[in-house]
Amino acid sequence: MIPMSEKKEVFPGDEVASEEEYLASEGTFAKNGMVYAAQIGTLVLDDDDCVAKVISPNPPNILKNGDVVYATIGDIRKTMATANVLAKDGTCRRIGSETYGTIHVSKISPDYTDDVSKELRKGDLVRAMVTGVKPSLQLTTKDAHLGVIRSYCGKCKSELVRKGNKQLFCPKCERNSYRKLADDYGDVVIE
């Protein structure tokens, strides 16, 4: 095996360790008692934790629990909304994992709601947090900083203006509507 002090560049499929000595960790996988590299990078054999990992110089942008993301609401049902994740907060790189997620009615607001359409609408741009990635991508907008950050009028497509804690107003149609708003609705700059 490779000593800890020696750095070695590895490629996907390279045999890097035996499962008797090291467990597969970040950037590696185990098969038939051996640990293999799953990505290009530098092999690290951690003797303290007994794990083999491959550190990539350019790791994929994979979503994990706790990540804050920006998404567009695609469909609304009574008990859930579907969302297409566009970006992960803090990075400009494309997402290299599942981007189609759901927001259950119980994960939308800290207040009780029995109908998703009372809090979100198709086309709304939301800031959400990842709460699960397996078996599918699950999101929440319960926190004050999470929720709708941009919305448009369903009738005239004008951008809605914040009028209160949960209320939005269309300056063109003079219609009111309600959403689960992020605390900075209207102040978010989208590039």
Nearest to 139 by CA among 89, 189, 190: 89
Using the predicted structure, report yes or no on whether residue 26 has a pLDDT greater than 70. yes
Percent of the chain scored above 70 by pLDDT?
96
Q: Is the pTM of this model over 0.75?
A: no
**3-class secondary structure, 105:** helix
For the stretch 143-173, pLDDT in tens is: 999 999 999 998 899 999 998 888 999 999 9
CB 42 within 8 A of CB 50: no
More confident site: 29 or 94:
29
Q: Quote the pLDDT of residue 56.
A: 86
- Rounded to an integer, the average pLDDT of 114-123 is 92
Q: Band the pLDDT of 191: cuts 50, 70, 90.
A: low
Dihedral angle, C-alpha 58, 61, 66, 67, nearest 10 °: 110
User: If you average pLDDT over residues 49-64, what whole number do you get?
Assistant: 86
pLDDT tops 50 at residue 2: no
Residues 103-114: tens digit of each pLDDT: 999 999 998 988
pLDDT, average across residues 109-121: 91
CA distance 149 to 147: 6
Q: Are 53 and 10 in contact (CB under 8 A)?
A: no
Strand extents, DSSP E, 19-173: 23-24, 28-31, 34-37, 41-46, 51-55, 68-76, 80-88, 100-104, 125-132, 137-140, 147-150, 161-162, 167-169
